[in-house]
Amino acid sequence: MVRVVVEGMLGAVGRQILFFYEAHALTINLLVLTYGLIMLMAWLALTRIYRHLVVLVAKEIHLNPRVNKDSSIKHIRSTIKIPWKETVNAARFPLISGQTGLYPVRKSVEAVQSMLDEDELITHAIAVLNGENPRKIMPSYRRMLAKKRAALVVDSKRRGQKKT
């Protein structure tokens, strides 16, 4: 009885989609599950890269005599070099993605730099120096989103200048 009501609500096209799904449910569900696992692994890869960067930046701050954990973020950023390449090469999974990304991107220094915020990275490195557990540190979704929006605005302005 419920099936008849649902099929009536779906209409002719909806019924065709329902029958197609029922005929190929295993394949469709495996594709969705595979996509979900790839996206989860890509997010975890970015998180591991971020945590590794935080620990390495904290080490740089600790070992550099010109800065300490009480220095300003701006001074630390100008003094130390963030080891992007070393950290990206240490990650094993070849894809990365933001927490709410719809598709993963190939792991590269440029991709990681475009997703992560250096000021947040240094802030978390200082927190690690003050005793925070590095395993509890994660990149901020809001900062990633703001950085992506800023990059889109810059790209749209560049495209607008090229046309004129």
Across residues 125-139, what is the average pLDDT?
90
Q: What is the pLDDT of residue 155?
A: 76
Q: What is the pLDDT of residue 53?
A: 94
Exposure string of 68-84, with b = 16+ CB inside 10 Å and e = fewer, is eeebeeeebbeebebbb
Predicted TM-score (pTM) of this structure: 0.81
d(CA 144, CA 111): 12
Q: What is the pLDDT of residue 162?
A: 62
Instruction: Tell me whether residue 18 is in a domain.
Output: no
Q: What is the pLDDT of residue 126?
A: 92
Instruction: Tell me whether residue 7 is in a domain.
Output: no
Give yes or no for a contact between 53 and 82, defined as CB atoms under 8 angstroms apart.
Answer: yes
Instruction: Tell me whether residue 12 is in a domain.
Output: no
User: Domain tally for the chain?
Assistant: 1
Q: What is the pLDDT of residue 46?
A: 94
Mapped onto helix, strand or coil, the DSSP state of residue 105 is strand
The confidence band for 6, taking pLDDT boundaries of 50, 70 and 90, is confident
Instruction: Tell me whether residue 5 is in a domain.
Output: no
Instruction: Tell me whether residue 13 is in a domain.
Output: no
Q: Which of 136, 112, 111 is nearest to 124 (CA)?
A: 136
Instruction: Tell me whether residue 1 is in a domain.
Output: no
Cα angle for residues 40, 135, 86 (degrees, 5° grid) = 75
What is the domain range of residue 150? Answer: 25-156
101-120 pLDDT per residue, tens? 899 999 999 999 989 989 99
Half-sphere exposure of 62 (CA within 13 A, CB side): 13
55-104 pLDDT per residue, tens? 999 999 999 889 888 888 898 889 999 999 999 999 899 999 988 889 99
Q: What is the pLDDT of residue 48?
A: 94
C-beta contacts of 156-162 below 8 A and 24+ residues apart: none
C-beta contacts of 5-11 below 8 A and 24+ residues apart: none
Instruction: Tell me whether residue 76 is in a domain.
Output: yes
d(CA 61, CA 12): 65
Q: What is the pLDDT of residue 35?
A: 97
Instruction: Tell me whether residue 44 is in a domain.
Output: yes
Q: What is the pLDDT of residue 151?
A: 76
Q: What is the pLDDT of residue 100?
A: 82
